[in-house]
Amino acid sequence: MNNCLFTISHPKHYHWLRVCMKSVAKFASGWDSWRIVLPAPHTVELDGLIRDYHDLNPKVPMEIKWFEEWPGKGKLHHMALILEADRLCEEVGAFHNWDSDAIMTEPLDVSELYCDGKPLWGYAPFSETIRALPPVRRWKDNAERALGWEVEYDFMRWFPIILRKEVLEMTRRCITDNTGVAWPNYIRYQRELFPEGFAEYNTVGPVAWRYFHDLYSWNRTPVEAEEDGLHTPENPEGWPPFLRKITKFWTWKKVGDSGELPRLQELGLA
Q: Alpha-carbon distance 163 to 79, whole Å?
A: 13
How many C-beta neighbours within 10 Å does residue 168 have? 20
Q: Alpha-carbon distance 217 to 120, whole Å?
A: 5
Yes or no: say if 10 and 43 are a contact pair by the CB < 8 Å rule: no
Q: DSSP secondary-structure letter at 214?
A: G
Q: Collapse the DSSP code of 154 into the 3-class scheme (helix H, G, I; strand E, B; otherwise coil) and give the result.
A: strand
Yes or no: say if 70 and 77 are a contact pair by the CB < 8 Å rule: yes
In the prediction, which pLDDT does 229 show?
43
* 173-207 pLDDT tens trace: 999 999 999 999 999 999 998 889 999 999 999 99
Which residues face 240 on adjacent strands? none
Q: Max CA-CA distance within the chain?
A: 52
Of 3.90.550, 3.90.920, 3.40.720, 3.30.460, the CATH number of 3-256 is 3.90.550
Domain ranges of the chain: 3-256
In the prediction, which pLDDT does 233 show?
53
**In which residue ranges of the chain is pLDDT below 70?**
225-236, 251-253, 258
Q: Where are the alpha helices (DSSP H) in 84-121?
A: 85-88
Yes or no: say if 216 and 157 are a contact pair by the CB < 8 Å rule: no
In the prediction, which pLDDT does 224 show?
75
How many C-beta neighbours within 10 Å does residue 235 have? 8
* 216-257 pLDDT tens trace: 999 999 887 554 444 455 556 778 999 999 988 876 667 777
Q: Where are the beta strands (DSSP E) in the chain?
A: 3-8, 28-29, 33-39, 62-67, 94-97, 102-104, 108-109, 114-115, 118-125, 153-154, 161-164, 217-220, 246-248
In the prediction, which pLDDT does 252 show?
63
In the prediction, which pLDDT does 236 show?
61
Angle between the 44-55 and 14-27 helix axes, to the nearest 10 degrees? 10
> Position 5: which residue type?
L
Q: Alpha-carbon distance 242 to 207, whole Å?
A: 25
In the prediction, which pLDDT does 232 show?
53
Yes or no: say if 158 and 121 are a contact pair by the CB < 8 Å rule: no
